């Protein structure tokens, strides 16, 4: 397995809609394994393929490292589709491996139902709540070209501009590899 460099704010691929996976083959399986390895190396709990510079609709989630969520198994979602979200929302501070050093409060639905292919090419439907739901929605956002600043109030977004500029210029300290400035 390999640890891949993580794309950061300003990298074009993070703003594009990811392409569906046509076939789950050995390359996709290796990518998923490398994504888990990369995410864990960076102490993350979610990672989308475009965050490792791959234009595919894939993300991985592992919230089992969070106290109280040890029972939730790590999951890879291929070609995910959000099929239901609750009307109830929760505001919670989020971070992102592609936005090192930046956090912001984001409002998201409390419950999500998602349909996806697993690595065995089986169609799965999963309902998640609380932090698990939040991470799924956060990673799904990556696949449609959205990031934390897009989910914040305009006045908050304005306050984030200096940090976003620093991230884009790689003027941040991180303990994991990130892509070179393009």
Catalytic residue among 70, 81, 110, 139: 139
Beta bridge partners of 105: 93
Cα 56 to Cα 170: distance, rounded to the nearest angstrom: 25
| 153 part of the active site | no
Q: Which residues are catalytic?
A: 139
């Amino acid at each position: 397995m390999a640890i891949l460099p993580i794309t950061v704010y300003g990298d074009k691929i993070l703003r594009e809609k990811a392409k569906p996976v046509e076939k789950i083959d050995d390359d996709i399986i290796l990518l998923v394994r490398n994504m888990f390895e990369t995410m864990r190396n960076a102490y993350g709990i979610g990672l989308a393929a475009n965050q490792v510079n791959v234009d595919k609709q894939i993300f991985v989630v592992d919230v089992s490292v969070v106290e109280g969520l040890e029972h939730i198994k790590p999951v890879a979602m291929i070609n995910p589709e959000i099929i239901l979200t609750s009307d109830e929302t929760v505001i919670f501070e989020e971070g992102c491996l592609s936005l090192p050093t930046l956090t912001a409060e984001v409002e998201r639905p409390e419950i999500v139902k998602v349909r996806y292919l697993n690595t065995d090419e089986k169609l799965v439907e999963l309902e998640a709540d609380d932090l698990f739901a939040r991470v799924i929605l956060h990673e799904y956002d990556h696949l449609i070209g959205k990031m934390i600043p897009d989910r914040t109030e305009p006045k908050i977004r304005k306050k984030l501009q200096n940090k976003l500029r620093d991230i884009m210029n790689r003027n941040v300290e991180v303990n994991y590899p990130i892509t070179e400035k393009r």
